Amino acid sequence: MRLFSPQQLAQNAFCPQDYEQLAESYLEKGLFAYLSGGSGQEHSLADNRKAFHEIQLNSRLLNDVSKGSSELTLFNQTLAAPILLAPVAYQSLVDPQGEIATAQAAKTSGIGSVVSTLSSQSLEKVAQAAPPCKLFQLYLQNDDAANQALINRAVEAGYQAIMITLDTSVQSVSLKARRLGFVLHQQVEAVNLRDYDHNQNPTGKTLFQGLMAQAPNWQSLGNWIKQSPIPVWVKGVMHPDDAIQLKQMGVTGIVVSNHGGRALDNSPSPLRVLPAIRKAVGKDFTILMDSGIRDGYDVFKALAMGANAVMLGRLQIYALAVGGAVGVAHMLKLLIEELHLCMALTGCKNLTDIRADKLFIQPTQIQQSL
């Protein structure tokens, strides 16, 4: 039985991660494997957590943070915390309200929200429930007219930016889910794409002649950047050279991400490439980061490593599965409290204080410091 009252949630979830275990107990095995699993042998999925565990924080004393705040201004909107809900596809798999519920939770919590091309509720309906800071995530379709129509609809619905995901020209469904017989397309419909021809299966013999022949390239991305009336972001950046080129092409922000370990397996945790990417694009370019964030400490670490804000995927969907909109809001409350705790005890009055000097770096040779 799912939990819907704040009291029930408070008695069962004491930290954001608790929602994972609770979700596992409610969801059908194959579906949970699909949601929690990664691509390939899940090396990236594991590294996403490992990289956070390798980082430690400098506790400081007597910090005057009485005027402290975790607010962030994005698109002229003030967020209560540097957090956006990531564009998780097909949320009706775990909750009948799906994206509308998570959008409501984001609004209530004062954070941002990114809606997926593959949402189970129409982008227009979700926009109505969503907070002022809302983005539309776009998987570029083979059909140019469809892309144009989707962008137009997003602009009309009030989205502030288009976030184009580029790391999954090839999607790999979790092997665990497949072994359990989970088949995504029997259970969901991509309602936003209902009017377009989006199920063209590539006919090439190899991946190169098939999916990759249809994949977007630098030129097509350039065209969409020029044509979009609202800013364009790119999600899935994992290399400084790609970040530089995107910045030069006019992209407004990037998301450093390995798609939560669902894109190329064996890619490192985005946390490992974040410092080099920050260095490459300079301090004034907006970088979001996702993949592996499970608590407020991780948010703090991601910011100290160079991100302006983070996105939450799995935590969002687990909390949605457990408690609907109320569950997501409760999870966010716990997580933001942890972020505030980190800020207070490391002496960060605001987000710009969260820099690398707040991280503890072990001397390579203990003897040097003796």
Instruction: Select from 132, 148, 297, 353 the one that contacts its own copies (CB under 8 A).
Output: 297
Per-position DSSP letters for 235-247, written without gaps between them: EEE--HHHHHHHH
Least separation, in Å, of the C-beta of 251 and its own copies? 11
Q: Which is nearer to its own copies, 100 or 246 (CB)?
A: 246
Residue in this structure with the two tokens 């929602």, named with its chain if needed:
19
**Applying CB under 8 A, does 149 fall inside the site for its own copies?**
no
- Which string of x and - marks every residue 176-215 that binds its own copies (by CB under 8 A)? --xx--------------------------xxxx-xxx-x
Stretch that binds its own copies, among 149-157, 172-180, 225-233, 310-318 (CB under 8 A): 172-180
Rounded Cα distance between 318 and 162, Å, is: 25
Task: Tell me, residue by residue from 23 to 42, as one string, x for binding to its own copies by CB under 8 A and - for no binding.
Answer: -----------------xx-
Site for its own copies in 87-146 (CB under 8 A): none
Among the listed residues 239, 259, 330, 340, the single catalytic one is: 259
Q: Which of 217, 229, 248, 284 is close enough to bind its own copies by CB under 8 A?
A: 217
CB–CB of 161/232 below 8 Å?
A: yes
DSSP secondary-structure letter at 193?
G
Q: Which residues of 321-335 are buried (b: 16+ CB within 10 A; e: fewer)?
A: bbbbbbbbbbbbbbb
Q: Is 259 annotated as catalytic?
A: yes
Residue 135 β-bridge partners: 114, 161
For residues 158 and 135, the answer to whether their CB atoms sit within 8 Å is: no
Question: Which one, 94 or 332, has the nearer CB to its own copies?
Answer: 332
Measured from the CB of residue 55, what is the shortest distance to its own copies in angstroms? 7
Q: Which of residues 59-88 bind its own copies (CB under 8 A)?
A: 59-69
Using alpha carbons only, how large is the chain's radius of gyration in Å? 20
Out of 23, 86, 133, 273, name the contact with its own copies by CB under 8 A: 273
Letters for 338-357 (x = contact with its own copies by CB under 8 A, - = none) are x-xxxxxxx---------x-
Q: Which helix (H) or strand (E) holds 276?
A: helix 270-281
Backbone phi, psi, residue 137, to 5°: -85, 130
Would you state the structure tokens that stand for residue 218, as one six-digit string?
């630098």
Catalytic residues: 259
